[in-house]
Amino acid sequence: MDVVIRNLSSRMLYVRLHNGQNVRLAPGASSSSMHQVQVKGNATVEKLVKQRMIAIIEPKVENPKPPKAEDAEPSNTAGKVADAAADSPGKPPEHAG
């Protein structure tokens, strides 16, 4: 799951992640999305969260909802196939002769 770090303080912050990278955050700014493993169990991040200097935010991911059964049109493929067969011209009748 991805997370975002947001700077809640009024000063510039540098946050060191588990992979060794530093995230530079201006006052009120948010980082780009990163995997939660970068901040989970990170003593520096936990300290800054406890001091209310930063917030760890999980971005909302909207999942498309499947259509309700009452909204969906009933599937009548058997009727459509029968109608198509009646509309299509068959073989012309053979003439004896």
Q: Per residue in 17-59, pLDDT tens?
A: 999 999 999 999 999 999 999 999 999 999 999 999 999 998 7
pLDDT of residue 59: 79
What gap in Å lies between CA 67 and CA 39, rounded to an integer? Answer: 37
Q: pTM of this prediction?
A: 0.60
Please report the pLDDT score of residue 29 as a whole number.
96
53 or 69, greater pLDDT: 53
What percent of the chain shows pLDDT beyond 90?
58
What pLDDT is recorded for position 60? 77
